[in-house]
Structure 1
Amino acid sequence: MSPELEKCARNLLVCEKSNFRDERARYDTHVSKHFFNYKVSVVIPECASLPASTRTVIDSFSSYYCVRDLPAYKLLEKDILQKVVTKGHFYALSYGTRIDEDNTIAFLPSGHLVMSVDKDTYELLGLEGKPSQYTHRKVQRYVVNVDLTDKSMSPGSKKFQRLVTSLKERVPIKCDFLIATKMTANDDVESLHSLMSQYSYKEYSAAVQTHTLKETPCPSLHSSDLRGKEESCDPHRFLEWLGAVNMDITCDNEASSFLSTYACPEPRGVMSQGLLCTITGFLIPEDIHALLMELRNYFDQPKFTSWLSMTVHGFADSPVSWGTTEHGFLKGGEHFYNFVCFQNQDYWLHMATGSHDGCPP
């Protein structure tokens, strides 16, 4: 076997156990700070179809836009900056740019502009930044993080004008952007549409797929334990099982012509039927939080299962994972989190990244 295949890339997994009713629970913070998400997968054991109330929440997910060849400085124009970008519910991510090779840009709902750029671009921009945490012996990439809500960055100030000049004249960066927002004010929405109408753009809605699981081996989970006991399901193995279910990989470990087989972790049972619902698109935290709250309510009526799961995957080429924590790319670019919600309102939270990310919060 190739030495490269024998090596398993280092990963980071943070596990947390709490209860939704606990005032100290931080689930909403973790959801709200994972800004750029492309897929949500929900697994509900012993469920034949998506509940109507859950479907209603999913159908209410915000639409999003793909704007072609949008110059980055256009999002810094005074009207857009004040009515859209710094209002607290604006998300924009460069699309089709690779975090390990290209210049990537993100506008966060916190009002931050984050750019991960190569060395040549950084030197031409002339902006203050710092070397990427995940670089070679010689620095090849830099991260520029600008707080657009800071008083020193108000339109007309020297620092703000320097930023605009850098993106408009020194390095006129333009790229495709994915854009989404939760704005409700008509004037603000019109300002955004007015900008997008100057370029080629298309509106999209989240895509939803459901799949019925039949006679599937399933881990036996108990809310009282997350890890550390022999009879409990190890978090890594549980997430591995979820991945197998999502990829429709058989978990029965039967002998076959394959070189390797996979078995569901112990302790386990068999669910006679189950539901896998997958939502894909440019999914914002507000909508994901609404779905999580709806899934909490699933157990308001008696059910044949004591738990369900929701997994949220971030964009591999986003310059950030949680908050402004730098995201890098080694082999997979993964950063995701998973909630296991129990009947008694306990939950497990798994937050995972590859080796080129800061530690999850």
Structure 2
Amino acid sequence: MLSPEIFNFPAPESLFQVEKFEGKVPLNNQNINNFHYNHLVTIIIPDSAKLEQLNEKVTQDCSYYKILGLKLEDLVSLKFICGFIRSGKLSLLSIDRRIDCDTCFGLDPYGQLLVTVDKETYQSLGLEGSISHFTRKLKNHFTITVDLADEKLIKNTSRLSKLKTCLGRLEKCSVIVTWKPPNEDICPSSIAKYFSDLGYVVKQCTPNFRRHTVYSKVPDFDLGSIDVTNAKEFAEWLGFVSIDGDFQEDPSGYLSSYVVPSATGVAKKIDCLQWRGFFTATDIKEMIEQIIKTTNLANLPWISIYIQGFSDSPVSWTNEEQHYYTNGDNGYIIIFNKENGLFCIQKCSRKRYKDVNKYK
């Protein structure tokens, strides 16, 4: 039996925002700095720009570590807090989890530990938290935030011991972690040695690289005077390039086809470079600087960089909850040339959804 009127359910709302800037890319922009858990980086460049050195630099500088079966209580120790959380910038994220039904957690570079749990787990922990924004009526999902960089927490040994005991009740979970030391004299692999000394299996990971080339007409637009509608159409075209879509204009045999909007001239060669891994905001800024250094912006009409987060991270921007009732498609695009640029930000709606159980 078919579920009643499923076809009438509205699609999740999505927000598309455009922010313009002039001159150099503002690396201190909040869209970059507040997006901590970056998973996919896609660079699209026209006219056969040469970026042979970029992949080598990204592979070397953006390595991270996978820790199998981590006990969350091991993050709450004076040695770890003082040596890694309060010194340098550490980012940690649970993996192989489902944000809508599993316990997920993340630790951002500022020492904020955020844990999302179901109702039963929350009641057994003994930690103070809040009801998830998306389950206000059902009250079946909770978020717990702990500032591990708080000096008051470090000085209060009884509170630290209680926190460690409570977190010890959570199941083990594999994580990915990266650490930026406070100075160049310290090796970033110190974080791997720390967990290895605790008896954990630690694996070094490097970003997975993929490159392809397409030939397509480029939509007509001017970065200096582009509006939201043009920016959305151009972002859609960039998305089609990134998935290596078929730009053939003959739609025979297809139920649907894509036509480049308002494009003139002949087809051009477009290079697309993609990395999948675990990138911090610092990694993203270093990649942008490297792109500017290795390309001649004066000869390029534009360069685009698309950043996509993890779909099952507990937060998207800063401490904004991940939208697990939708599709977690939070991300942003930077399109720029020598004189102008813009940020295209894609966010899910914060709309609260009704109890799906009543439709069963």
TM-score interval for Structure 1 and Structure 2 normalised by the shorter chain: 0.7 to 0.9
Q: Deviations 1:246-288 (Å, cap 9, x if unpaired)?
A: 1122234422111111112225554421210001111222111
Amino acid in structure 1 at the alignment position of 2:163: L
Q: Tell me whether 1:317 sits opposite 2:315 in the alignment.
A: no
Q: Deviations 1:130-157 (Å, cap 9, x if unpaired)?
A: 1111126311111111111223211543
Q: CA deviation at 1:172?
A: 3.2
- Contact persistence 1:152–1:159 (CA under 8 A): no
* 1:160 aligned partner: 160
* 1:8 aligned partner: 11
Q: How many residues align?
A: 345
Amino acid in structure 2 at the alignment position of 1:350: C
- Contact persistence 2:50–2:295 (CA under 8 A): no
Alignment partners' CA distance in 1, 2:205 and 2:290:
23
Q: Tell me whether 1:118 sits opposite 2:123 in the alignment.
A: no
Amino acid in structure 1 at the alignment position of 2:22: N
- Identity of aligned pairs, percent? 24
The TM-score, its normalising length taken from structure 2, stands at 0.87
* 1:208 aligned partner: 209
Aligned CA-pair RMSD: 2.5
* 1:349 aligned partner: 343
Q: CA deviation at 1:51?
A: 4.6
Q: Counterparts in 2 of 1:12-27, with a 5 A limit?
A: 12-21=15-24, 25=26, 27=28
Amino acid in structure 2 at the alignment position of 1:178: I
Q: CA deviation at 1:76?
A: 1.4
Q: CA deviation at 1:190?
A: 3.5
| Secondary structure at the counterpart of residue 154 of structure 1 | helix
| Secondary structure at the counterpart of residue 135 of structure 2 | coil
Alignment partners' CA distance in 1, 2:274 and 2:147:
34
Structure 2 unmatched runs, 5+: 353-360
1:225–1:6 Cα change, 3 Å? farther
| Secondary structure at the counterpart of residue 335 of structure 2 | strand
1:301–1:285 Cα change, 3 Å? closer
Alignment partners' CA distance in 2, 1:105 and 1:33:
17
Amino acid in structure 1 at the alignment position of 2:284: I
Alignment partners' CA distance in 2, 1:82 and 1:326:
27
| Secondary structure at the counterpart of residue 202 of structure 1 | strand
- Contact persistence 1:119–1:140 (CA under 8 A): yes
The TM-score, its normalising length taken from structure 1, stands at 0.87
- Contact persistence 2:19–2:344 (CA under 8 A): yes
- Contact persistence 2:195–2:202 (CA under 8 A): no
Q: CA deviation at 1:213?
A: 1.8
* 2:357 aligned partner: none
Q: Deviations 1:223-265 (Å, cap 9, x if unpaired)?
A: 212315xxxx533322222221111222344221111111122
* 2:328 aligned partner: 333
Alignment partners' CA distance in 2, 1:27 and 1:348:
14
